[in-house]
Amino acid sequence: MTMTVRSVQKSISHIILLIYVIVILYPFLFVLFSSVKSDNQAIASNPFGFPSSFHFENYYEAWVNAKISVYFLNSLYIATLCSIATIVFAAMASFAITRMRFWKLSKGMYQFILIGMLIPSNALLLPIFIMLMDAGILDTHLALIIPYTAGAIPLNVIILSAFMRSIPSELEEAAVMDGLSAKGVFAKIIFPLTIPALVTVFILNFIGNWNEFLLANFFISTDELRTLPVGMVGFRDTYNTNYAQMSAGIVYSVVPVMIIYAVLQKQIIEGLTAGSIKG
Amino acid sequence: MRKSLLLIVLSVILVATTAISSVGAATKSITIKVRHTQLGESKQQRLNILNDVLKKVQKEVPGVQFKLDGVDSDVNRKEKLRSEMVINNPPPIFDLFGGSDTQLYVQAGRLLDLTPILKELGLQNKFISLGEFTVNGKVYGLPIGGYQEGYFYNKEYFKAKNLKIPQTLEDLEKLADSIKKDGKTPFAQASKAAWVPLMAANTLWARYAGPDISAGFSTGKTKWNSPEMVAAFNKYADWVKKGYFKEGELGLEYAEQRNQLIRGEAAMMYDGSWASSVFADPKQAGDLTNKIGYFPMPKVSNGKGSQTAVNGGFSNGYGFSAKVKKDKKQMAVIKSFIKNMYNDEMQIRGLEADGVLPSMKVDAGKLAKAKVSDLVKEIIAVGNKSSGAFPAFDSLVQPDVNTALSEGIQKLIGGKITAKAMLDGVQKVQAEANSADD
Amino acid sequence: MNKALRSPWTYALFLLPVIVLYILFFIYPMFAAFIKGFTNWNGVEAARFNGLNNFEKAITDDKFWSAVKNNAYFILFSVVVQVPAIVFFSLLISNVKKLKGLYKTAVFVPSVMSTAVIGILWSFIYEPDIGLFNLILMKLGLQPVMWLSDPNWAMFSILITNAWQWTGFYIVMVLAAILSIPREIDEAAIVDGAGSFMRATRITVPLITPIISVVIMLSIAGAMKAADIVIIMTRGGPGGATDVMSTYMIKYGITNIKYGYGNAIAVLIFVFTLILTALYQLLIARRIERVEYS
């Protein structure tokens, strides 16, 4: 009897969870179907079903009109560059803080950087906007590259410091005995050992930069310089009445992320959740 | 001092981080950024005209490259250009609105004085009105065309149902009632951006309170919450309540309002003359191509002032950065741009291809020969019959007041506020803005 | 020994990039906001000190408080609606054996999507005529709802989208905590005859309170940051009904060219965040024994 109660319970669990999964995934399916329907009328008359005819020209038109390729490359290079720059800088700082023999100063530095976690990023939007205007780099990619690189610093330093603290000190002591300089210890011993944490942090930074909207929306106005999220919203605002084409645009911006997620899901989930807990 | 320090620090980081960055390679020939607002399908013709003008400029001034920078009109006007003006870094050529925008930028010394160039090119008397771009007798911008606002309507539907063009506001309401009864939306509207519903509201209050009232708000001579204004907005709120607009239109983008008309869902639409080109293009207007008519906001009995004035003017065009003055080559480009953009040929082309009303005194003979749609002819006829034009309120009041009224009209449509309370609030902001100006 | 690790030059060199960037993009802007917040700076003319005027104007402006209220809705919605749902679904997933990986992977999908794409996707779902929700409502013979354009529904609609985006993320976090509870505890309870509901409420939930507390803290941080989803879905409209503090700052600071005022709002956002963090520490975090997760 208990067996049946348990199996009924299990089935109910599965039913509830499957409904939840459908709620999460169905909107994507809806968009996928809509993207090959002929027009708004076709979507309205047969909203849930499989398309009756396939209109792949929507994809061509969205590609041309939405300039997805331009935005995509902008996002890709900015997100990659900034993610790498941040982890390199943060790793250097974390090394100095956790491994070099300036304990008191390092403790102060660490606390100082920790304050950054308390400052709400959107409150800084206007002051940073004005600062970038003063420097004359507003509406260039630098207006995103530098703030993105800087913005992830506190979290990266916290995570990497935590990781580096757990590396036993015997290792570098031996290395120093062998005549390695501090730079050598960093480059040859600590950095390689930190790679798992660096990968996590890289993914964290990359997804954050890839998806960033607020700064990109306000700091960049030249169409060719836009990143994918802002470009997509602009596309929506200009071609908002053609839902089939808009759906095709959404598919373009979702698919690459889906593929990366499918391949790297374990690392991505670990990276994102670890990042938030440490923060 | 602070700036230079900042620059040094930033450039150090720059070198450190972004050797790979592909930004900002200097070229020998000069590159001039042109900020335009001709985005999307409906403005393709206007973009073509701009491109052709730039090509001509390139021929006249060798070694110049143009970088087109298209930004949504509202975003450019309210955010982008405004912030560039703050740091004195606008593009050399940009889309500019007359009225309060131009005045503000002139005060800050950001706009190029065009008076000498106009003189040199012999254009000083060629424009119908440069009033909105003139500050202290000097001209700082050139309107690309004129506009006028009124009701577009579905001619076929009116014919089929035997509906007549309304002469009074009561007629208009009766008309709306019968359309509503027929199961259609009387007025197409899409109010996600508040300036859209404010077009009809602006003319409605001009009928009730007189076309000159809007000019008095910023001087304190007239008040937003005067009884006539309240009556006008009460009427508007009444229309909302009666279901004259599509439900949920507060969430729709501007382009969606003409689609309501094109799909046959709605029978009338209040919009600017710039929308006329859409109805001449079968790709966009479908079955309703060339089947749209136009009439002005009808008169209000007991309304103040002229009852035939139209909301219209010459408020949008191009302005130029004051910074180009120092650079001879850039000045040459600006001159060539003005010469090639502002002439009979381009004015007629804009009218023919796109229904943009001329902003210049085009040769009457050429104008008569221009191939324009019936709709554009109707629009021109309405303008000729009117007692005159009054500018849109947003070129007359401070930005804070515009924001307050924009929020207000959306709340009014959403049923969240009464007309009186809304206008009291706007007046409060107006009073604050007026006192801050002194 | 260890001379290499005591070189002050190397130390400075290693810290330099981080410190410079950090000061430039965190500390300096904060100070700049504080200073400019007390001026009437409009960006064009020179800034003039105007004391507490900006702050006075903000705290007497109903629209500012309506924006604060919307930030509060974000927090309330996540604490009252999302957190119980998160715990519920995490418990469900932890209890099933089959398909566990699939559930985890699927619910996490929205967390890797950009808010821009999700905002666009959902404005499509909320579309009055051909949007998914209204089509369903009409199939059921119900009145369509004007999700994003009705001031009474707009904020709620945004909250739903926000919850849809982030619930899965927190589920995965809580799930990891549940799965790290030693099996022996659960098995001992089974031996004692505790039913699954009993085990969930008496054993699992108390053991995962620290992570729930982290979820609440992250929700608060997220709520204070919320801006992009609002800009994308409604631009703060209709009629300011969905403005949050950040979009209020953009509208009344940047659009109205009142940079002094905008900076004052930035300071207020900072102050509110500090107050919330302090409250959280006092009311929630202190009561819970801190458990280290890694």
Best of C1, C2, C16, C18 to substitute, by most chain A Cβ atoms within 10 angstroms, is C18
pLDDT at B18: 44
The larger pLDDT score, comparing residue B369 to residue B205, is at B205
Shortest Cα–Cα distance, B176 to chain A (Å): 25
Q: How far apart are CA C240 and CA A189, in angstroms?
A: 56
Q: Which residues contact C286 (CB under 8 A, 6 or more apart)?
A: none
Average pLDDT over residues B206-219: 93
Q: For residue B166, what pLDDT band results from cuts at 50, 70 and 90? A: very high
pLDDT at B151: 97
pLDDT at A277: 62
Q: For residue A10, what pLDDT band results from cuts at 50, 70 and 90? A: confident
Q: How far apart are CA C89 and CA A21, in angstroms?
A: 11
Cis peptide before C238 (omega within 30 of 0): yes
CATH of B148-312+382-437, one of 3.40.50.2300, 3.40.190.10, 3.40.640.10, 3.30.70.380: 3.40.190.10
Looking at the predicted structure, is the pLDDT value of residue C129 above 70? yes
Q: How far apart are CA C82 and CA C161, in angstroms?
A: 12
Q: For residue A17, what pLDDT band results from cuts at 50, 70 and 90? A: very high
Contact C255 B82 (CB under 8 A): yes
Summarize pLDDT for A168-208 with one digit per residue, the tens.
888 888 888 888 888 888 988 889 989 888 988 888 898 88
Contact indicator for B407, B194 with CB cutoff of 8 Å: yes
Contact B87 A133 (CB under 8 A): yes
pLDDT at A200: 83
Query: In A, which residues are within 8 Å of B256 by CB distance?
Result: 240-241
The token pair that represents B313 in the structure block: 């003017």
Contact A24 C107 (CB under 8 A): yes
Q: How far apart are CA B142 and CA B340, in angstroms?
A: 13
pLDDT at B205: 96
Query: Domains, chain A, ranges and CATH?
Result: 59-278 (1.10.3720.10)
Average pLDDT, chain B: 87
Looking at the predicted structure, is the pLDDT value of residue B411 above 60? yes
Average pLDDT over residues B403-427: 94
- Residues making up chain C, counted from first to last: 294
Average pLDDT over residues B286-305: 92
- Matching CATH topology for B29-146+314-362 and B148-312+382-437? yes
Phi/psi for B271 (5° steps) reads -160, 175
Summarize pLDDT for B318-338 with one digit per residue, the tens.
999 999 988 888 999 999 999
Phi/psi for B329 (5° steps) reads -65, -40
pLDDT at B224: 96
Q: List chains touching B (3+ CB pairs under 8 A).
A: A, C
Phi/psi for C282 (5° steps) reads -70, -45
Summarize pLDDT for C49-104 with one digit per residue, the tens.
888 999 999 999 989 999 999 999 999 998 899 999 999 999 999 888 888 888 98
Convert A77-134 into a string of H (helix), E (strand) and C (coil): HHHHHHHHHHHHHHHHHHHHHHHCCCHHHHHHHHHHHHHHHHCCHHHHHHHHHHHHHH
Contact C45 B108 (CB under 8 A): yes
Supply the DSSP symbol for B296: P
The larger pLDDT score, comparing residue A238 to residue B77, is at B77
Average pLDDT, chain C: 87
A218 in contact with B, Cβ within 8 Å: yes
pLDDT at B20: 41
Q: How far apart are CA C246 and CA C68, in angstroms?
A: 10
Query: Domains, chain C, ranges and CATH?
Result: 27-44+51-112+154-287 (1.10.3720.10)
At C118 the three-state DSSP class reads helix
Shortest Cα–Cα distance, B345 to chain A (Å): 29
Residue type, C17: P
Contact B3 A134 (CB under 8 A): yes
Q: How far apart are CA A8 and CA B32, in angstroms?
A: 72
Query: In B, which residues are within 8 Å of C17 by CB distance?
Result: 13, 16
Of C40, C43, C152, nearest to B86 by CB-CB distance is C43
Paired residues of B292 in beta bridges: B154
Query: In A, which residues are within 8 Å of B13 by CB distance?
Result: 146
Summarize pLDDT for C13-55 with one digit per residue, the tens.
999 999 999 999 999 999 999 999 999 887 666 778 888 999 9
Looking at the predicted structure, is the pLDDT value of residue A274 above 50? yes
Best of A74, A217, A241, A246 to substitute, by most chain B Cβ atoms within 10 angstroms, is A241
Give the CATH fold of the B29-146+314-362 domain.
Answer: D-Maltodextrin-Binding Protein; domain 2 (3.40.190)
pLDDT at B424: 96
The larger pLDDT score, comparing residue B24 to residue A73, is at A73
Cα atoms in the 13 Å half-sphere on the side-chain side of C232: 32
List chain B domain ranges.
Answer: 29-146+314-362, 148-312+382-437
Contact B87 A240 (CB under 8 A): no
Average pLDDT, chain A: 85
Average pLDDT over residues B127-142: 91
Contact indicator for A106, A96 with CB cutoff of 8 Å: yes
pLDDT at C246: 92
Best of B10, B71, B74 to substitute, by most chain A Cβ atoms within 10 angstroms, is B10
Shortest Cα–Cα distance, B170 to chain A (Å): 33
In this structure, of A269-273, B177-181, B233-237, B284-288, the range with the lowest mean pLDDT score is A269-273
Q: Which H/E stretch holds residue C19?
A: helix C8-22
Shortest Cα–Cα distance, C261 to chain B (Å): 12
